[in-house]
Amino acid sequence: MYAVWKLSLANLKKRKIQNSLIALLVLLSTLLLSTSVILISNTDNLFTGMHEKTNGSQDILRLDGGLHDPEKVHAFWEKEPGVSVSKLLPYHTLSGVSHNGSDIPNLLLFMMDTPQRPLGVDELLPARGTLGETPAAGQAWIPTSLAYSHDIAVGDTLSFKTSQGALELNVSAVVVDIPYGGPFSTESRIWMNEADYGGLSASEGAKSSYMMGIRYDNYADRQAHWTAFEQFLGTPYLESVMTFAEISSFYLILNQVIGFVMIFLAVVMMAIALFTIGFTISDAILTQYRTIGVLKSLGLTSGKTIGVYLIQYAFLSAIAIVPGLILSRFLSRIIVDSTLSYLKTDTGQLPLSGMNAAALTGVLIFLLVLLCVWAYGRRARHIAPVQAIRYGMSESDSRRESRGIGASGKSLVGFGSLPAVLVVGARNLLKNIKTSTLMLILAMVTSAVLVLGYVVLSSVMNIQQTSPQWGYDNSDITVRVFDPASFSKTEFEAGLAADDRIKNVSWHSGVTGVIESPERAASEKAEDTMGVVVSIVEGSYDDIGFAVLEGANPVNPNETAIGVNVAKTLSKSLGDTVELYVEGQPHVLTVTGIYQSVANSSNSVRIKSETVQADNPAFSAADVAYINLNDHSQADTVVPELNERYAASISAATQKTLLDSVFREAATTLILPMSFMGALFITVTLIIIYSICLINIRKEIKTYGIYKSIGMSSGQIRRSVALGVSILATVGALLGILLGVYALPVILESILAGYGMVDLPLVFNGASVALIACLSIPAAAAGSWLSSGIIRKTSPRILVVE
């Protein structure tokens, strides 16, 4: 055993640089894999923990259409066993707010009449400032999503647009409000004092709407409770409900995307690391073939020979995995604080868990390294001492080596006419096919990772180009009516018709409906019915720019387009019929299109206003107007004119402004992890290619000595090696472009499918993709150039001496 230990130490001392690089590679693999494990673990744990801490709701009921009596609905849930319900919360809806003189676009505001705490469900946690029982007069509490994304601090003043002018409230606290405080939220609850709310109610001249939060003692019993609820109502529930899946989705989506991508890349990196270790061991066995033969002739067994490598790489893995695990905690902290920032409070950091899972990941990596070492080290068993001492290799390898490249008398195609620099580089690659293949795969994977990161970021940052494929409109201007009482649709349309800059206008309203299969009457299965968001358009869906994946948008009153998750849940396809309840009235509609939408996870349907008007002739879609211009560039001019002319009732914004308000945050959050993974793979490429080229050059050092003795300079030889590797990396980069653009996005689509996105809309510039992919080429060239430095330091006289 002493001999095995001494040989292991000798191997560690002899190849310091190579061993250091392998240790660094294991460290980076550990860092990436354990970070992804911690990230995925904490995504669920942190949200679930905060949800439990606030006694968070699992359904939010909004009653604003007058279809159910709020008091009766609240009374039912209060008496329902196994259910907790919040106090009945009155509110008014506004859609205009400004901070420091700047309007905050694309935000629907629920102005809440705050009851005395506790609320019962969805308790508010102070993130900044101090909470009393209720806000003081003239003050308000706002959610973290609004405060953090627009730099609103405690003590700032917000100005809210009402029909009677501006209502100014001072921010006295920022609160964690789970249902309406998530990332990308376009809805915020503003918690007001009772007196301020009374003044708002008087100015708006409309009845209050109501909402309540519901939490189940056992979430698995949810369907049974809803069955009892609808039996109590005598009809399906026809007003708005936000489910737990909708509440949690935007808290979890970014970390799940980042985490799953990191796991995939970590597995790829670990495979490369293990292959590199195996290659290094194989090379060490070939290099020390004669030495191993001598040792075996002196009594060293094959098992002990394998033990030499096991001890060596166990030591390297141990000193690499521990710091990798430590660093993963810091990296996870940075990513978690970025993606779950709206759960943070000033009282302390978000608690990180998953350390045990990360430690198990480290143990798994350690065992995988040892298994790889054992598998490759077993090749030493086949070394015959006599052949090793005589040939320095097996007899068959010796015969093959003696023939060399082109020994059959046939020269390699075209080599005679090529420059010497190119021939030397090509020979280096062709003589080492296995290592050349590894470098090709490495360059391909690195380029694919870089391209994927660029494509994802570019697609999110340039979402305006593909907004219909994300489920958004493609109009030039969006106008939201926040005060219907003082708004005249007829007057507004007349003003637009008189403006020759306006091309067309379509109107949109959104309500909650219930959709069923007509077959449900026979089956009575609960899964055959679901609540959906119903988009009602007066005008043309095509003019607005809403896209479909299959079929077409509805044109006639008896037609509908359904979201992909509705189609999946109810097993519907084009030509099938569904029964949709809107405002309590059933409508049997034919499915003409299927679309995707990230806004509501594709749990929605599209119908025409004529569908509703068949039962309610007075109905008119007038919540949002989508306006197209003859000249798209005039949108920035038309918007302020509309806001000034109809200041008391509408809020207008360009499509770019609205999309930026939602997706700018996603792009900012994704930059750090995507950049980190790209930089990590570039570093790994340089490290591995340096190690591989160093091994190859040491094996061929005598040949390079001969080249130097016949007139080639060290610089020419080094350029030859670097040129060959660069050409190989270029081929890998081209293959990586195909992988990063066409293959890896499929992984994202599988993750986003649950959020209603089955066909990821990609936006990228071909030249930029090529430039990003080519970053792996200088990394490969630098690794080969640095490793060839030993050629410059070695004397040709020594190299040609046998």
Determine the Cα–Cα distance for residues 309 and 306; give it in Å rounded to an integer: 6
Nearest to 50 by CA among 248, 332, 338, 250: 248
Q: Is residue 424 part of a domain?
A: no
Pairing of strands 165-176, 125-129: antiparallel
Single residue among 403, 420, 439 that ends a domain in this structure: 403
Do 594 and 627 sit in the same domain of this protein? yes
Determine the Cα–Cα distance for residues 392 and 402; give it in Å rounded to an integer: 13
Number of domains in the chain: 3
pLDDT band at 293 (very low <50, low <70, confident <90, very high): low
Determine the Cα–Cα distance for residues 653 and 620; give it in Å rounded to an integer: 22
Q: Is residue 206 part of a domain?
A: yes
Q: What tens digit of pLDDT does each residue of 611-653 get?
A: 988 888 888 888 889 999 999 889 999 998 998 888 777 888 8
Q: Is residue 523 part of a domain?
A: yes
Angle between the 655-699 and 701-709 helix axes, to the nearest 10 degrees? 80
Determine the Cα–Cα distance for residues 642 and 47; give it in Å rounded to an integer: 41
Do 5 and 85 sit in the same domain of this protein? no
Q: What SS3 class is residue 111?
A: strand
- Look-up of token digits 């003082």: 486
Mean pLDDT (whole number) for 568-589:
88
Determine the Cα–Cα distance for residues 454 and 466; give it in Å rounded to an integer: 16
Nearest to 176 by CA among 158, 192, 189: 189
Determine the Cα–Cα distance for residues 122 and 212; give it in Å rounded to an integer: 9
Determine the Cα–Cα distance for residues 200 and 143; give it in Å rounded to an integer: 20
The predicted structure's pLDDT at residue 517:
59
DSSP state of 740: I
Residue 424, burial from CB neighbour count under 10 angstroms (0-12, 13-18, 19+): buried
Do 232 and 250 sit in the same domain of this protein? no
Single residue among 370, 403, 436 that ends a domain in this structure: 403
In this predicted structure, the answer to whether residue 408 has a pLDDT above a threshold of 50 is no
Whole-structure pTM value: 0.77
Do 125 and 102 sit in the same domain of this protein? yes
Single residue among 214, 238, 262 that ends a domain in this structure: 238
- Give every CB contact of residue 131 below 8 A, 6+ residues apart in sequence: 117, 124, 141, 173, 175
Mean pLDDT computed over every residue of the chain: 82
Q: What tens digit of pLDDT does each residue of 436-492 get?
A: 888 898 899 889 989 988 888 888 888 888 889 988 889 999 988 877 777 888 899
Quick one: tokens of 776?
């792996």
Determine the Cα–Cα distance for residues 206 and 181; give it in Å rounded to an integer: 26
CA 297, distance to chain mean position in Å, is 58
Nearest to 24 by CA among 277, 378, 337: 277
443, 729 contact by CB (below 8 A): yes
Do 638 and 604 sit in the same domain of this protein? yes
Do 577 and 618 sit in the same domain of this protein? yes
Do 96 and 207 sit in the same domain of this protein? yes
Q: Is residue 763 part of a domain?
A: no
Determine the Cα–Cα distance for residues 415 and 409; give it in Å rounded to an integer: 13
- What is the DSSP code string of 360-420? HHHHHHHHHHHHHHHHHHGGGGG--HHHHHHHSS-HHHHHHHHH-TTTTSPPPTTGGGS-H
Q: Is residue 102 part of a domain?
A: yes
Determine which of 200-214, 251-265, 758-772 has the lowest per-residue pLDDT on average. Answer: 251-265
Q: Is residue 8 part of a domain?
A: yes
Domain of 255 in residue numbering reads as 1-55+246-403
Q: Is residue 421 part of a domain?
A: no
Do 255 and 348 sit in the same domain of this protein? yes
Do 43 and 97 sit in the same domain of this protein? no
Quick one: tokens of 374?
């054992």
Q: What tens digit of pLDDT does each residue of 492-532 get?
A: 999 999 999 999 999 998 877 888 755 544 444 444 467 78
Do 489 and 543 sit in the same domain of this protein? yes
pLDDT band at 338 (very low <50, low <70, confident <90, very high): confident
Q: What SS3 class is residue 240?
A: strand
Q: What tens digit of pLDDT does each residue of 8-20 get?
A: 677 667 777 777 8
Do 31 and 101 sit in the same domain of this protein? no
Do 234 and 118 sit in the same domain of this protein? yes
In this predicted structure, the answer to whether residue 788 has a pLDDT above a threshold of 60 is yes
In this predicted structure, the answer to whether residue 194 has a pLDDT above a threshold of 80 is yes
Q: Is residue 777 part of a domain?
A: no
Determine the Cα–Cα distance for residues 152 and 100; give it in Å rounded to an integer: 9
The predicted structure's pLDDT at residue 540:
92
